[in-house]
Structure 1
Amino acid sequence: MNSLQATLDAFKAELESGGPPYNVPASVVEAMHRCTAELRSSGQAERAMKVGDRAPTFKLKDSEGNVVSSSALLAKGPLIVSFYRGVWCPYCNIELRALQAALPEYEKLGASIVAISPQTQPNSRRAARENGLTFPILSDTKGEVGAAFGLKFKLPGYLAKHYKNAKIDLPRFNDDPEWTLPMPARYVIGQSGTILYAEINADYTRRPEPEELLPALKKAANVSTRQALADLLSASQS
């Protein structure tokens, strides 16, 4: 079975070849590469939330309109948060399917997972349906939570023009007039609210393997077990 990155690399090679079925012009590929290079050189990825930081809390609606609270999820165990661009992004959909396949391993360690995108709830429902997801996709209205994590950036006009031509109308997908997106990122947040794992990349074609989260989740599980034993001992002595 191919790794997630190998699958992404194969898709990228096909997409950027200029041939069918995508027939992407060289000018569009050049614009995408230029935007990635500029975002990388800006240093924004290095300034985003990192391991050891206290994660921003959030309350966002899932695809069915239910409010999902990070605090409530953390009360049950560690939390995996995956920021992604939207249902229109094939790289994101490939990653979501990989995370779904890894979900049983995460749940064995007591973890929950949510995906966060600035897209509207109907687009999140579509993403969940088309990718066979059982974990929630949360709508980050105006990208506020992405901004709190340091991930939100504005698409340059030269790339927005190509997106429009390709019918990727971000204001319509996100119900937001601003052409903004989050950098793809993946976090593991411990029950204390501290970030235990963080992977942010200015290059949206690069995503960490799902199993890279397991050491942080195992560490979180061990901490939770030790705390539970300490609480049990304290209760027995009182």
Structure 2
Amino acid sequence: MKLQDQLDDFRNKFESGQLPFKPTQAQLDTIKRATNELVASGQADRALKAGDIAPEFKLPDSDGNIVSSRDLLADGPLVVSFYRGVWCPYCNIELKALEATRSEFEARGAQLVAISPQTAPNSRKSQRDNGLGFPILSDQDSKIAEAFGIRYSLPADLIELYKGFGNDLPAINNDSSWVLPMPARYVIGTDGVIAYTEVNPDYTRRPDPSELLPVLDRLQSATAA
């Protein structure tokens, strides 16, 4: 099943009250309004795109080891996935899909990392619960997300809703500002140039990981030539 089919299935079950947590119509309206406002803001269109130079980063992984994008790119292309956090079921579905495709990325000489604003213990939980074999890096205060143009602030009504859901983002992220990255995926070539980008202001919509394979094939062919 394609990633989007899995996400649609979860969303339909959530919105129709088939999951243990049954949202009210008012809660669903708040979520949809916040998503529509972010889409309408045009921020996703202003984020970094293919052809732009990717910001360099040095971020800690779930064990506290510093991971450098420059070091990773010395070994081949880099697939970077920004996600909201361990608390987001849509993100967890996507992480599992990326893990299922990881061997195909690696067969094309690429490495995969995920970046989230959450703390290291929450990244370890992400890895453990989703059976991940790739690093999750902690982007404190979403500074790298901001450099890519994908950091945004949650509106007040959504903050109150998340508090009611038990999603204590200040504790999860060790950041009181209630900011998140829009879910986004990048392929960065060894020259530091972004070869592919997909930014999703609607967090329920995400491209299938298989869409990255032709991009990695082109990069591999260009390197061989």
**TM-score of the alignment, normalized to the shorter chain, above 0.5:** yes
Structure 1 equivalent of residue 106 of structure 2 = 107
* Separation of aligned partners in 2, 1:126 and 1:35: 27
Q: Percent identity?
A: 56
Structure 2 equivalent of residue 65 of structure 1 = 64
Amino acid at match of 2:142: G
Give the drift of 1:201: 1.3
Structure 2 equivalent of residue 116 of structure 1 = 115
Give the drift of 1:123: 0.2
Amino acid at match of 2:135: P
Amino acid at match of 1:77: G
Give the drift of 1:28: 1.2
* Separation of aligned partners in 1, 2:19 and 2:68: 43
Q: Over residues 162-181 of structure 1, what are the superposed CA-to-partner deviations in whole Å (9 max), with x where a residue is unaligned? A: 10011101100000010000
1:1-238 matched pairs, under 5 angstroms: 2-226=1-225
* Separation of aligned partners in 2, 1:150 and 1:23: 34
* Separation of aligned partners in 1, 2:142 and 2:118: 9
* Separation of aligned partners in 2, 1:219 and 1:73: 19
* Separation of aligned partners in 2, 1:20 and 1:123: 23
Amino acid at match of 2:118: Q
Give the drift of 1:25: 1.4
SS of residue matched to 2:7: helix
Give the drift of 1:214: 0.7
Give the drift of 1:24: 1.3
* Separation of aligned partners in 1, 2:91 and 2:108: 24
Give the drift of 1:26: 1.3
Q: Which runs of 5+ in 2 are unaligned?
A: none
SS of residue matched to 2:160: helix
Between 20-29 and 157-166, the greater mean CA deviation after superposition: 20-29
* Separation of aligned partners in 2, 1:194 and 1:223: 14
- What's the TM-score, normalizing by structure 1? 0.93
Amino acid at match of 1:36: T
- What's the TM-score, normalizing by structure 2? 0.99
* Cα root mean square deviation, aligned: 0.7
Question: Does structure 2 conserve the Cα–Cα contact (< 8 Å) formed by 1:18 and 1:26?
Answer: no
SS of residue matched to 1:165: helix
> Taking structure 1 as reference, are residues 20 and 128 closer, same or farther at Cα in structure 2, changes over 3 Å only?
closer
Question: Does structure 2 conserve the Cα–Cα contact (< 8 Å) formed by 1:78 and 1:110?
Answer: yes
* Separation of aligned partners in 1, 2:6 and 2:24: 22
Amino acid at match of 1:85: R
Q: Which runs of 5+ in 1 are unaligned?
A: 227-238
Q: Over residues 8-44 of structure 1, what are the superposed CA-to-partner deviations in whole Å (9 max), with x where a residue is unaligned? A: 0000000011344221111111111001100001000
- What number of residue pairs does the alignment pair up? 225
Amino acid at match of 1:93: N
